[in-house]
């Protein structure tokens, strides 16, 4: 545990700041006690720049025969009302550095169309979907794996087999309350590597668990299944039929626009 700093100010301010510092020191979200959404952080086991260079130079696993041809589509091209908070295009993620050069979200076309159906079903209930991540290049998955301590590796995919995100058939998302104009509160923050992230976690408030159940029901109704350790992660039913991909966003955009 990192040592806690000396806190100055009024007694109330000292108490609030001490709690936040204690949570960070214990590896918990820095903002669980405040109004802002928590951002869980790890201490990467190796320097991020070193991990990035190695990952970009590495090769993903070879595809099996008989895979479906990739057909990635940007989600907002199908429905512009889908909300985005693409964490890996910012430093507001568990490693504290940007990984993507643009804040977009791609899925294989059948998965994207299914997600849009879930989004539109939720609209009638006063909610929408907010996307945190979708297709993820393989080199980013390798960075995650190599950076994460062994004790937390159940929350990241092994690059030896690739992630379902690498196949363009997995999405990280949450509910967005249309009347409030913001994401709902869930039992844990996004990418929080604790038991609070489990989809069957029994803690939290009744409202938080109801939000989680509503999201899961909407996604399961259109062919997605929740990941056993993360309430926000959903895999489309055909994910094994797509190859692991390692195309960077800027190259993917260039290919779709027909530019070099």
Q: DSSP assignment of 105-124, as one string?
A: -EEEHHHHHHHHHHHHHHHT
- Annotated catalytic residue within 54, 74, 192, 230: 230
Strand pairing report for 230-236 and 170-177: antiparallel
Specify burial of residue 8 (Cβ count, 10 A radius: 0-12, 13-18, 19+): exposed
Number of Cα atoms under 13 Å in the Cβ half of residue 128: 16
Which structure tokens are listed for 227? 């990941």
CA torsion through residues 56, 43, 101, 108, sign: positive
Q: Report the largest interatomic distance among the alpha carbons of the chain, rounded to a whole angstrom.
A: 66
Helix and strand numbers, DSSP H then E, in the chain = 6, 8
108 strand-pairing partners: 72
50 is catalytic: no
79 CB-near residues (< 8 Å, 6+ apart): 116, 119, 120
d(CA 52, CA 34): 33
Q: Catalytic positions, please?
A: 230
């Amino acid at each position: 545990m990192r040592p806690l700093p000396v806190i100055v100010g009024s007694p109330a301010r000292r108490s609030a700041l001490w709690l936040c510092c204690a949570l960070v020191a214990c590896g918990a979200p820095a903002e669980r006690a405040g109004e802002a959404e928590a951002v869980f952080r790890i201490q990467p086991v190796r320097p991020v720049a070193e991990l990035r260079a190695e990952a970009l130079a590495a090769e993903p696993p070879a595809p099996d025969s008989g895979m479906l041809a990739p057909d990635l589509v940007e989600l907002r091209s199908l429905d512009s009302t889908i909300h985005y908070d693409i964490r890996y295009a910012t430093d507001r993620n568990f490693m504290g550095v940007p990984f993507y050069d643009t804040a977009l979200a791609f899925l294989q076309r059948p998965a994207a169309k299914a997600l849009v159906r879930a989004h539109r079903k939720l609209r009638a209930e006063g909610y929408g979907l907010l996307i945190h991540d979708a297709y993820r290049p393989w080199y980013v998955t390798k960075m995650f794996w190599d950076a994460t301590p062994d004790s937390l590796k159940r929350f990241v995919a092994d690059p030896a087999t690739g992630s379902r995100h690498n196949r363009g058939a997995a999405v990280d998302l949450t509910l967005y309350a249309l009347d409030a104009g913001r994401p709902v509160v869930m039992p844990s923050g996004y990418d929080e590597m604790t038991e609070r992230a489990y989809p069957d976690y029994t803690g939290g408030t009744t409202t938080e668990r109801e939000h989680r159940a509503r999201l899961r029901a909407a996604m399961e109704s259109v062919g997605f299944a929740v990941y056993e350790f993360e309430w926000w992660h959903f895999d489309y039913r055909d994910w094994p039929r797509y190859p692991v991909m390692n195309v960077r966003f800027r190259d993917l955009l260039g290919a779709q626009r027909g530019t070099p």
